[in-house]
Every structure is written in structure tokens, then in C-alpha cells.
Amino acid sequence: MLIRYVIGRPTAPLEPKTLKRGGVSRDLRRDTTLELYLRACKAEEVEPKPDYVEHLRIRDAKTWAFALDMWCTQEQEAAALYDASQVQAMIAKAPALPPKNGWHCERCRWRSRCDSDPMIQHLSDWPDVIDARAPTQLAIKYGRTRKVINRDRRGFVLSPSEMRSFLQCPRLWYIEHDRRKMIQRHGPAALPMLRGTLTHEAIRLMTDTPGLNMAKEVELMVQEMAVAGRIDAEAQAELSQPAQIQAIADRATEMHAMAMRGVAEVVEHEQRRIMRMPGSKKWVHGIPDAVVRMDDGRLAVIEYKTTSTFKDLSAVADRYRTNPAPHLYAALVMHGQLTF
């Protein structure tokens, strides 16, 4: 099955600097775009420099949005299912307080909190730690009726994010999936996640209802988040900047267009799928961002990712090549069923 990763960076590009002596700066490290540079040159009435135009043309191609197509072979799919079944067994046998993987700590968001309470005795008192959402009920069609899958047993139902969390650090899995805690971010620290959420939501909207004024929709989404208390005043002020709203709208539009290249129809969009593990009574479930049918009739899984840091997105995309999550999604699409 084809897997298509579409990666975007929904931050607002910087305007090129204008020079005191006249003209436009050609700073190679400036986080700007060719469009903004050409516009600044026009405003300053100077000729664009061909070498800088070429630099920005190459930079634009891999700095704001990038798509990577790859194949999920049957072997990769089977390997991902094998690994998932082993992780399910490890979770089921894990002690009440699973051990740490101290080698992951330096990259872990829980590092300072976890370090100051190494036996997790006061988790509920950790600063800025709140309860995450309760797990979604998983119901499947069962003959003429429906059956609710039991989510209380450890390891009985597994998602790709739960699997990743356990393999990174069993203690991380315990905090986030067993005790269901999350860190509440404030102000600028919350912005990368909020920009990602808004971009995903904008893509969902344009998939469901083509032709919307996306900047207007993003602006409304920010207002709704503020009214619902999901963002604080500092984050709202930053996200309400016209350049930021436009950047999210532009990136979502660009990512959606990249995702839809060669696509005949969107079969599903953000639908949870579940399948029984081969040779087991356990389950694996997940939500592919989209399942599409390509022009040649084949099914494909689309995964949207956002990043906030200034990186070459082709290198970021390359890191996803070995990510087993879309391999599990491929298995879910081929052998699973929708939940409801």
C-alpha cells in the first residue's frame, strides 16, 4: 500500500530586511520566502538578485511543506503487527510501576518532573499536570448488534502512539497511557502544538467542505479555542496575528493539495479503525489521517505532520521512513473495520 507523508511548518515567514542604504537584505539564514523577497524588491524598486532568487526557490521547496511517498510492503505490515503483539504482551506483564528507560530522558517532556519524583509517588501534584481525556469507547459491529471492546485490561487494546510510548520508556507509557496524565502548556510553549492542531483542523475542514475561506475559518477556530478556555491570552494574541492566521491557512491548503495529487477520491478521513490481532483475542486500533483511492485504483494512507522548528523538511520526512505507525494503519485499512 502507498503511504504518503505530508509535512508542513505552519509558522509565519519573516519579511526580508530592507537595508538603510537601500535595497533588500540577502541573508541566507533569513526565514523568508521567494514571494516575500520579490514583493520587497518591488516595493524598494530594486532588481531581485538571481542567485538569491535561486536560493529561495530551492529553500521554499523543502522548508514549508514537503510530501514523501513510500510503499508499505506485506513484510513491513506483518513485522509491524508482530512488534505490536510483542508490545501488547510486554504491557500485559509490566509491573504496577514499569521501569524507566533512562536513555530516553534527555529527549522526554517529563524529564524535570520525573527526575524530582523518581518513584512517581506524587504524580497528581506535579506542576502543570492535568488529566488527559478519558479513552474513547471502542464499539464494533457484532452481528446485528454492537460490541464494546474492553479497554480496562492492560495491553488488550493497543494504538500506535501507545506502542511508541512504551518502547520509548515504559514509565512514560505508565504516566501518559496508564495514569492518563498530560502536561498543560502555557503561552509560547503551547504554540507549536496549537499551530499543529489548527493546521490539522483546517485540513479536515477543507477535505469535508471544499471552497471555504480558510483564513476566516482559522480565525474562527482560534476564537472558539479561546472561548472554550483551551488557550490562554498570550497564545491567543500570538495565534490571532493576521500573518500567523494566513500562514496556517496557506500551509493547510498547500499540504492538502500535496496530499491530493493523483487522488481519485477520499475514502475515509480521520476514521478510527480496529482489527483483531492475528492468532490472538487482542486488538490494535488507530486513526489514519486519510485513506484515499489513487487514480490507478489503489488505496493509500495519508499522514499529515506538522513541525515548528526551522529544518529541511525532506530530512524530517526521511526520518518517517521507518516509522511503523503507517504500517499498522495499512494493516487496519486492509484487515480492520471501522469503530462507531
Q: Which positions touch ligand SF4 (CB under 6 A)? A: 100-102, 104-105, 108, 110-111, 114, 169, 171-172, 175
Q: Is the Cβ of residue 115 or residue 208 nearer to ligand SF4 in the bound state?
A: 115
**Least separation in angstroms between CB 172 and ligand SF4:** 4
Residue 199 vs residues 11, 115, 239: alpha-carbon distances, Å: 10, 34, 12
CB of 126 to ligand SF4, least distance (A): 11
Which one-letter amino acid corresponds to residue 192?
P
Concatenated DSSP letters of 269-301: ES--EEEEPTTSS-EEEE--SEEEEETTS-EEE
Give dist(CA 16, CA 39) in Å, integer: 9
Q: CB neighbours of 300 closer than 8 A, spacing ≥ 6? A: 1, 2, 3, 4, 263, 291, 292, 293, 294
Chain centroid to CA 339: 21
Nearer to ligand SF4 by Cβ, of 101 and 240: the residue is 101
- Residue 129, C-alpha cell as written in the block: 499536570
**Alpha-helical runs (H) found in the chain:** 34-44, 50-63, 74-93, 111-116, 160-168, 170-173, 191-208, 214-227, 233-239, 242-259, 313-319, 325-335
Q: How far is the CB of 48 from ligand SF4 (least distance, A)?
A: 48
> Toward ligand SF4, which CB reaches closer, 114 or 290?
114
Task: Give backbone dihedrals phi and psi of 112, rounded to 5 degrees, phi first.
Answer: -65, -40
Q: Which three cell numbers stand for residue 132?
A: 488527559
Question: CA–CA separation, 142 vs 145, rounded Å?
Answer: 5
Q: Is the Cβ of residue 165 or residue 199 nearer to ligand SF4 in the bound state? A: 165
CB of 130 to ligand SF4, least distance (A): 17
Question: Measured from the CB of residue 307, what is the shortest distance to ligand SF4 in angstroms?
Answer: 21
Q: Give the whole-angstrom CA distance, residue 238 versus residue 202.
A: 18
**CB closer to ligand SF4, 163 vs 260:** 163
Q: How far is the CB of 165 from ligand SF4 (least distance, A)?
A: 9
Q: How far is the CB of 104 from ligand SF4 (least distance, A)?
A: 4
- CB closer to ligand SF4, 77 vs 178: 178
Cα 132 versus chain centre, distance:
17
By beta-carbon proximity to ligand SF4, the closer residue of 114 and 235 is: 114
Nearer to ligand SF4, 132 or 205 (CB): 132
Min separation Cβ 114 and ligand SF4, Å: 3
